Amino acid sequence: MHALKNLLPIVVVVLFFQLAILQQVPENALSMAIGLLIVAVGVALFLQGLELSIFPVGKSLSNQFARRGSLPILLSFGFAIGFSAVVAEPALIAVAQQAQEISGGRIDALTLRLLVAVSVGFVVALGVFRTIMGYPLHWFMIIGYATVVIVTWFAPEEIVGLAYDSGGVTTNIVTVPLIAALGIGLAASIRGRNPLMDGFGLVALAVMVPMVTVQIYGVVVYSGTAPDASLDMAVSDQSGAAFGPLKMLLELAEMFRDVLPIILTILFFQYMVLRRGLTNPPKIVFGFLLVIFGLYAFVVGLKLGLFPIGTSMAEQLIGRENFAFIYLFAFMIGFATTMAEPALIAIGKQAEEAASGRLDGNAIRLLVALGVAIGISIGVHRIIVGGSMHYYIIGGYTVVILLTALAPRYIVALAYDLGGVTTSEVTVPLVTALGIGLATNIEGRSVLIDGFGLIAFASIFPIVTVMTYAIAVQWLADRREVKS
């Protein structure tokens, strides 16, 4: 049901534009529809597998380690959970594959994923340390994003959009529930910690650090000589010619490889550190199998459905020679898909409970959806006019840093976390394909330089809208107190 709920806003928006505005049906409409159904089935299997295996075991481990109170074990567990969850993140797999294809093999998909996973593992460990010690999050975020802005200034333009997108897609279908449960569980179990101020923030840190490491990777990659693109294409063609069932088995083996780090992490900490057996191993094994098959179906559905939809919509809207429709499509897709995002609904409910009535979960969802819609619209504007990603990103995060200094402390961690959970496993591929499609069809645009970056804008502006709202509410409350 969650998967279908995520798909429904996209289907409604696409149908509205195809029938009411473009008044045409794309040639490969049937293939796209089949692809969407496969995505829905894949996400449903994947989520069910997580519910049966990874989530309950991960939460159980978090609670047991929190009760033990061993700092080295907690930090090691934080790193392992962060790393293993991100390596298996479907949205990151999709973005990394697109980057490798578009760069002609210069950016390696597996290397990119490993870099992002190591970054997230490190920063989750750092976040666990912050929660245990009680250090305020806003200093971490101000210093962190100041570093991001400085690195962005020196990074090659080919990597900037991809780096920010890589940070934006790390916190998604696998990562958010595990990391959020770890942070809130720790804050709730340590005396003197506030679940709202100290429990949130791990997701925000997991978004930030990959932006730095991927940009440094870009500096290294683009300072050397380009690989032989013809060799890369030859290898690709050869693998594509493999016999159908054999190719399917190879791809399933790759999916197992993607999920294997989570399995090994859980088994190691369960049996080697806690020295306890798993409860109901057959159920957990079945869950892991569902995760693998669901991940495989998701990737197949992307290639058939979501990527072609984004590219097709970009081509058709540009063909109308009226950019207003492109802005409208970007805004509607951003708002509609964010309102249906399960991770956002879950975080909103947790925040409402932790804030004891100071926050309204529905108001938070509206603010975040508005932020995503504005962000994607601004990102589309950048592609259309050909502006430099550097200036947009540096300007956006400068505003975020200023708001962080002004915002009430209770909202800071939550606002940054909300910026990280806005893009779902369905939204990310569609928005990425939209950006690539626009850059491909607008004269003078580079697919690698201009095509990536929309996810970055979708992550920045929810932080801006939520913090601005909190500052306004605080200001009004202070004025009422002065008058009374």
pLDDT tens track for 132-149: 887 877 788 788 878 888
- DSSP string covering 56-116, please? HHHHHHHHHHHHHT-HHHHHHHHHHHHHHHHHT-HHHHHHHHHHHHHTTTSS-HHHHHHHH
**What's the N-to-C CA distance of the chain in angstroms?**
50
DSSP state letter for 272: I
Residue 203, Cβ density class (10 Å: 0-12 exposed, 13-18 middle, ≥19 buried): buried
Tokens at 389, concatenated: 């990603």
Model pTM greater than 0.85? no
What's the pLDDT score for residue 377? 94
**pLDDT top residue among 228 and 370:** 370
Q: What pLDDT does 227 receive?
A: 46
Cβ contacts of 101 within 8 Å, gap of 6 or more: none
pLDDT band for 381, please (50, 70, 90 cuts).
Answer: very high
Which tokens is 429 given?
Answer: 């591929």
Query: What is the average pLDDT across 416-445?
Result: 77
Q: 104 — alpha (psi -120 to 50), left (phi > 0) or beta?
A: left
The pLDDT confidence band at residue 357, using thresholds 50, 70 and 90, is low
Distance of CA 449 to the CA centre of its chain: 20
Ramachandran quadrant class, 293 (left: phi over 0; alpha: psi -120 to 50; beta: rest): alpha
Closest C-alpha to 80, from 212, 253, 268 = 268
Burial, 52: exposed, middle or buried (Cβ in 10 Å; 0-12, 13-18, 19+)?
Answer: buried
Lowest-pLDDT range, 101-115, 234-248, 349-363? 234-248
Can you tell me the distance from the alpha carbon of 388 to that of 157, in angstroms, rounded to the nearest whole number?
A: 8
Q: Which amino acid is at 296?
A: Y
Residue 238 has pLDDT above 60, yes or no: no
Label residue 329 exposed, middle or buried (CB < 10 Å: 0-12, 13-18, 19+): buried
Phi, psi of 171 (to 5 degrees): -105, 100
Q: Which range (237-241, 244-248, 327-331) has the least confidence?
A: 237-241
pLDDT in tens, 171-207: 665 566 667 667 766 777 676 676 666 667 777 777 7
Instruction: Quote the CA–CA distance of 409 and 26 in Å, as a whole number.
Output: 49
Q: Which one, of 107, 90, 8, lies nearest residue 429 by Cα?
A: 90
Distances (CA, A) of 244 to 53, 239, 258: 30, 11, 21
Residue 215 above 60 pLDDT?
yes
pLDDT at residue 228 greater than cutoff 50: no
User: Tell me: the pLDDT tens digits for 288-306?
Assistant: 888 888 878 877 887 787 7
Indicate the range of 97-111, 384-398, 418-432 predicted with least confidence: 418-432
Instruction: Give the residue ranges of DSSP H helices in 302-426.
Output: 307-319, 323-339, 342-354, 361-385, 389-406, 409-420
Q: 6-37, pLDDT tens digit by residue? A: 667 777 888 888 888 877 777 777 887 888 78
Report percent pLDDT > 90 for the chain. 6
Task: Output the pLDDT for position 242.
Answer: 42
pLDDT class of 218 with cuts at 50, 70, 90: confident
